[in-house]
Chains A and B, each alone.
Chain A
Amino acid sequence: MSANQGPPVYISGSAQEIVGRGRPAPAYLNLLAAAAADAVADAGLDRAAIDGLVLSSSIPQPFERNPAEVAEYLGLGAAYTAMAPYGGRPATDVLHLARSAVRAGLATNVLVLSADTFASTLGLEGAIDLYMKSFDASYERPFGPLIPTAFALMAARHVHDYGTSMEQLARVAVSIRKHGLLNPHTEVSGELTVRSVVDDVLVSTPLTRSMLALISTGGAQGFVVTRERVDRRSVALLGYGEASAFMSLSQAPSLVHFAHIRRAADLALRQAGAELTDVDFVQFYDPATIVPLILLESIGFCGPGEGGAFVEDGAIEIGGRLPMNTHGGTLAFRHPGMGAALDSVVEAVTQLRGEAGPRQVRDAGLGLVHGQGSWLANNGFLILGRS
């Protein structure tokens, strides 16, 4: 506990805007406004109590509106405003920025907003093209990697170094699909089996389509981060750690084990005065099924190379010893864009409030939420707890 860096702040309001599979997303500002209204209503606060705004840039509209413009649009009046830019950042960082503003005395109740209108503004091909720009224009794009190829290069090396099997890579998708099917807002239907995942069409070897994230047309998330606990539905933000170590995969010190991931997770845990064994569930960014395996290993839930065996016995399913992505994640709920990790935060808040219905983790008291920027290049971990 000695490393605890000050009292917690609280996520007292949480909201998620649903667009639906293949449906055109509402306009960017419409989504932001809906998320703002729903988050403040969820917190049970008057909008006049909001004196801060942290805006997460979206992928298709990285700089469409600056945060002062959005604050003005919402009629917030005098408020602290900030924005987390697009590119190489874990989306969880906006909750840290809101916490920092509260702790620095810049604001008392900070609205955190994110919206993406991906495929309805760019089309799915345009969305994929935009994602591809994450690769370096000079030294990576000339060789034709798809976004899944970044994860495929990690997976191939993991298979080579540790003997991880296609069945183990598939098992992650099967388990997380079970959770997605318990989410009334999921964009997928039908159970998966290890066989159906392995036999699905290859996108970038060794990864098949069912081992990869969905691409959604849009979505939004809103939160109210407060200095005071509003009521028993307020969730404590107990820790945040973040570290980047590279951007291009050619510069990564390893393709299978990442010290900066451990560093970021340890920072968050230390602030919270918590150990890994205290964590009741995890919400990991899951763009490809190799990523949760690498996270389990790099954070230290299991040893290097043991991720495949860890997931084989259903440990990451609700009822298992470490439920993961209880909303379905990007594999089996949706992938709206920059806000994917904020969907994970919404789910963590829902779990810690005990409001997750059929997918509720029993006695959920402490959750670890992961956000990722560009193929594990940058990682941000939040520790959230029941208040």
Chain B
Amino acid sequence: MNDSADAVRADAVRADAVRKVDPSGDVEATFWDGCSRREFWLQHCTACDAWQFYPRSLCSHCWAPTSELEWRRPAGGAVLESFSVVHRGSGPFAGYAPYVVALVRFDEGPIMMSNVVGDVEGLAIGDRLELDFAERAGRVVPVFTRAGKLS
């Protein structure tokens, strides 16, 4: 799934890059725009040093305003909090079943819903995961693979 062209594109933005959150911008659009370039941007609050997902226009921990939020790229490591194998996909997902829906905790703290893709034989809660991206119906979505297992 990770061809070399993608690897080059992902490296185009330094991993430690920091961006201000545009107070008049749409954080949801910014997040998905990043994903379309295979970049995952997570919000970090400079006032209370907490991370948050999903992105918001304020810090949900301390209510710092947008001007005190920044976008950063998480290291990409995560832990599997829980997962379920969906056997009967509905609508656009019918063709993917069986597939894994997961709650994944970034090492930075926030939890997100995602999919675990690739080799999921023997998948277990507590497994180490790595951030990746998958393209579906023209859209790039963040997914996870088991650490050390190529998808």
Contact = CB atoms under 8 A, between A and B. Distances in A.
| Size bracket, chain B contacts | 20 to 34
Contacts of A143: 101, 113-115, 141
Interface in A292-314: none
A243 B86 CA distance: 30
B9 interface: no
Interface string A105-139: 00000000000000000000100110010001011
A139 B86 contact: no
Interface residues of A, number: 33
A201 B87 contact: yes
A282 B62 CA distance: 39
A232 interface: no
Contacts of B89: 144, 146
A207 B82 CA distance: 14
Nearest to A128: B90
A348 B82 CA distance: 35
B83 A144 contact: no
A351 to B, nearest CB: 35
Interface string B84-116: 111111111100100101010000001111110
A318 B141 CA distance: 49
B63 interface: no
Contacts, number: 94
Interface string A193-206: 00000000111111
Contacts of B87: 201-205
A129 B92 CA distance: 11
A138 B28 contact: yes
A193 B18 CA distance: 57
Interface stretch (A42-50, A64-72, A149-157, A369-377): A149-157
A144 B116 CA distance: 12
A250 B85 contact: no
Point out which of B31, B96, B111, B126 has the most chain A C-beta atoms below 10 A from its C-beta: B111
A142 B115 CA distance: 9
B113 A250 contact: yes
B113 A248 contact: yes
Given A138-B54, A153-B82, 18 more contacts: A132-B91, A138-B28, A139-B113, A143-B141, A144-B96, A145-B84, A145-B101, A149-B84, A153-B84, A153-B103, A156-B83, A157-B81, A205-B85, A206-B84, A249-B103, A250-B54, A250-B103, A250-B113
